[in-house]
Amino acid sequence: MRVLVIEDEVRLASTLQDLLELDGYTADVCHDGESGLDNALTSIYDVILLDVMLPKLDGFTVLRRLRAEGNATPVLLLTARSETGDKVTGLDSGADYYLTKPFEPKELLACVRALVRRKPELRETDGVTCGDLRLEQSSFTLSCAERSVRLSRKEFDMMELLMLNQKLVITKENLLVKIWGYESEAEDNNVEVYISFLRRKLEYLHSGVKIKTIRMVGYCLEYPES
Ligand code: CA
């Protein structure tokens, strides 16, 4: 799970980042509204923590532009201001939840968990299905009929991304950023290696689902309609 923190108070931003990482999330930080919006628009985040008073673009504007672009990533607004008016503006702009500073770390983490659960594709069950495949988050297994295999963390993340975006092409760049992170030195080659691991596992499972390469772009899942 990847969280974007858009907060100009450097110390608070880094506290939030530590808190999230201790809780198992990967967290990226932006200190102004403009770079925050650019990052948020990449759609690689599961949750966005957004401060209201920000340099360059305020939080409400960031949120409105994000929603105007059709980006539905859950947003938790953070603000020092507690007036009802601001809450209404925030929720009207498309925020999913509102937290007033100062807040307890526990409260923040509970909100983040609630927002992650709200993601429609993860809401109903622990598993994701696609064609004859089923991916179980709790056991990191991929199964097809009677057969199943255990996936490594990166294989799991990659397969999950492909299965949650069935029939959409996932670019190599998106896979790299989402799975290895912005600051990683991983290259396209790493993606290809993991795709080949996954293909081998799909063959072992005798699954009808194939990972199709879209030349110069990326990958998508292909499977016979049942
Ligand atoms: Ca601020």
pLDDT of 118: 67
pLDDT of 123: 39
Query: Among the three residues 94, 118, 142, which one is the final residue of a domain in this structure?
Result: 118
Helices (H), 74-129: 84-92, 105-118, 120-123
Going from the Cα of 15 to the center of ligand 1, the distance in angstroms, rounded, reads 14
Clarify whether residues 8 and 52 are in a common domain: yes
pLDDT of 125: 54
Going from the Cα of 30 to the center of ligand 1, the distance in angstroms, rounded, reads 12
Going from the Cα of 54 to the center of ligand 1, the distance in angstroms, rounded, reads 5
CATH for 131: 1.10.10.10
Clarify whether residues 21 and 102 are in a common domain: yes
pLDDT of 12: 94
With a CB cutoff of 8 Å and minimum separation 6, the contacts of 92 are none
pLDDT of 221: 93
Clarify whether residues 31 and 100 are in a common domain: yes
Going from the Cα of 88 to the center of ligand 1, the distance in angstroms, rounded, reads 18
Burial of 224 (0-12, 13-18, 19+ CB in 10 A): exposed
Nearest one of 81, 80, 76, 82 to 62, comparing CA atoms? 76
Nearest one of 225, 199, 207, 196 to 148, comparing CA atoms? 207
User: Strand order of the sheet with strand 147-150?
Assistant: 127-130, 133-136, 141-144, 147-150
Specify the amino acid at residue 7. E
Clarify whether residues 114 and 132 are in a common domain: no
User: Strand order of the sheet with strand 26-30?
Assistant: 26-30, 2-6, 47-51, 75-79, 97-100
Query: Among the three residues 101, 118, 135, which one is the final residue of a domain in this structure?
Result: 118
CATH for 50: 3.40.50.2300
Clarify whether residues 50 and 93 are in a common domain: yes
Query: Among the three residues 118, 153, 182, which one is the final residue of a domain in this structure?
Result: 118
Going from the Cα of 6 to the center of ligand 1, the distance in angstroms, rounded, reads 9
pLDDT of 122: 45
Beta strands in 7-71 (DSSP E): 26-30, 47-51
Instruction: Enumerate residue ranges in the chain where pLDDT < 50.
Output: 122-124
> Which domain covers residue 58, as residue numbers?
2-118
Clarify whether residues 15 and 78 are in a common domain: yes
Clarify whether residues 133 and 107 are in a common domain: no
Structural domains in the chain (count)? 2
